[in-house]
Structure 1
């Protein structure tokens, strides 16, 4: 299979972020020790986590702050 040839005007496609490495900025919802959704604000991340927790109360949901590298358990 041949690789597509990129022209000079086309930028190289970005690599998707790896799921096993923590992000470097923003806030992330962690569900059962797996990084899931990324948000710009802690309020948005908590709202998403609380919605999941109300629907599926058996899940362990944490909010990860990339700037301080701290996890906060949502209860």
Structure 2
């Protein structure tokens, strides 16, 4: 099988972030202990978490601040 030839115009594909490592920047929505969505601001993460919580009230949703490494539970 031949390998594809990369041209100069095509950048190499970036690796996907690993799910088993803590994020280092931004805010992440944590659903039932699992990191799900990454956001640039705490307000955006909280809004998405509240929307999800209103649809599925049985979920435990937290907002993880990567800079301070603190989790805040949404009630």
With normalisation by structure 2, the TM-score equals 0.90
Q: Which residue of 1 aligns with 2:45?
A: 45
SS of residue in 1 equivalent to 2:49: helix
- For the residues of structure 2 that align with 1:12 and 1:45, how far apart are their CA atoms? 30
Q: Would you say how many aligned residue pairs link Structure 1 and Structure 2? A: 75
Q: Which sections of structure 2, spanning at least 5 residues, go unmatched?
A: none
Quote the offset at 1:59 in angstroms. 0.3
Q: Which residue of 1 aligns with 2:21?
A: 21
- For the residues of structure 1 that align with 2:37 and 2:58, how far apart are their CA atoms? 18
Aligned Cα root-mean-square deviation (Å) = 1.2
Q: Which sections of structure 1, spanning at least 5 residues, go unmatched?
A: none
Q: List structure 1 segments (4+ residues) > 6 angstroms apart after TM superposition.
A: none
With normalisation by structure 1, the TM-score equals 0.90
